[in-house]
Amino acid sequence: MIVGAALLVGATVVILGACVLLIIAVVAVRARRHSRNQRDEMLLSPLRQPLITVAAGEDDDGTAAEELTWATGVSRTVLDRNIAEMLTKVRGVPAEQLVHVLEVHGAVDAAVDDLTSRSTVKRARAAQLLGLARAERTVPLLVEALGDESVEVRNSAAYALGLIGDPVAAGPVLAAIGAPERGLPAATAAEALQSMGVGISGVLRDGMADPNARTRMVAAHLSGERSFTRGLPELRRLLDFDPDLTVRETSAVAIGRLGRGEDVGILVSHTASSEPLALRRACVVALGELGETEAIPALVLLLGDADPRLAELAATALLTMGPDGRHALAGHDDEPAVRTARLLASLQKASA
């Protein structure tokens, strides 16, 4: 009994001690961060006005930018960090002037060196800085960094390539999604590719034939987002035959965005009850997005579907099709799907 009580007291003391140590550690880290922020603010203080002047595009004679180039030592490091942050906020001539300051400080060259640093944090930060500085000459190095062992570095490299926007990098970014073990998250790749202009439509078409399903999905999604109509034949093929359900759903949505009247048939065919439910729903949404009145009879039939969500999506699609679609709903007002769709539409209108 006494031994048990002693053990309990001992365990309590250990736990309390651990808690106290944890609190001390948290307070110490916060205090250190606070004091570092204060130091940074103090160091930046004399450079704050020239920085704002350049960022606001009010440095017509270049004196403020020149003043920024004079910074040395720790002040320069703090300033360069702030300039990098400012580059996420402004574009145009002010951004070009700020990049020039970074170049004079040697920050861009240092970032190139840091891309091969042993520190993951340094590599990731270096990639980001090169992107923010729109350092086009470093595209090959950033493409190489897409295969980095760290996902943070791979993400930063893709982000940087997106900022630089050179379509030359589109193929490697898309291919990096399917890289074994060192893959790039699909969302990161999609975001980077979004920034690369119309020059990537060919890469996306090729990507829809990639062996990796996530690569095909991103290529299909972006073809729809960017309205690359030349990808329509591949999208139709994916919708019909792809072995991956998500790819088929994504293709249906993309066809809804950029398809034509002739796509009503293929979308309607995949709303059949023999198809997977997720694909049927995606096709109904796509028919609404497509807005072709030829789809109205098929959508009216789906108002009585066994899946209530699908029926509601069909009603919503009809509501978005203008007078013809709304006319087709006449006589179905008592159906729960139609009531729900009308209610949702009015709520959306009210909250807008």
Cβ proximity to other proteins, 286 vs 338, nearer residue: 286
Residue 136 CB, shortest distance to other proteins, in Å, is 18
**Token match 């809804």: residue?**
256
Measured from the CB atom, the residue of 86 and 300 that comes closer to other proteins is 86
User: Minimum CB separation from other proteins for residue 155, in Å?
Assistant: 18
**Least distance from C-beta 92 to other proteins, angstroms?**
4
**Per-residue exposure over 285-303, b if at least 16 CB sit within 10 Å of its own CB, e if not:** bbbbbbbeeebbebbbebb
Q: What is the rounded CA–CA span in Å between residue 246 and residue 268?
A: 18
| Cβ atoms 68, 101 nearer than 8 A | yes
Q: Quick one: 39 or 237, whose CB is closer to other proteins?
A: 39
Residues that bind other proteins (CB under 8 A): 48, 52-53, 55-58, 82, 85-95, 352
Would you say 118 or 349 has its CB closer to other proteins?
349
Tokens encoding 189: 């790749």
Structure-token pair, residue 17: 């001690």
Q: How far is CA 161 from CA 33, 129, 191, 212, 242, in A?
A: 31, 11, 10, 22, 30
Among 304, 305, 244, 262, smallest CA distance to 280 is for 305
Shortest reach from residue 48's CB to other proteins, in Å? 8
Q: Which is nearer to other proteins, 98 or 318 (CB)?
A: 98
Instruction: Rank residues 17 and 57 by Cβ distance to other proteins and give the closer one.
Output: 57
Contacting residues for 189 by C-beta, under 8 A, at least 6 apart: 158, 173, 174, 176, 177, 218
- DSSP-derived letter for residue 228 is -
Smallest distance, other proteins to C-beta of residue 223, A: 17
Q: How far is the CB of 245 from other proteins (least distance, A)?
A: 25
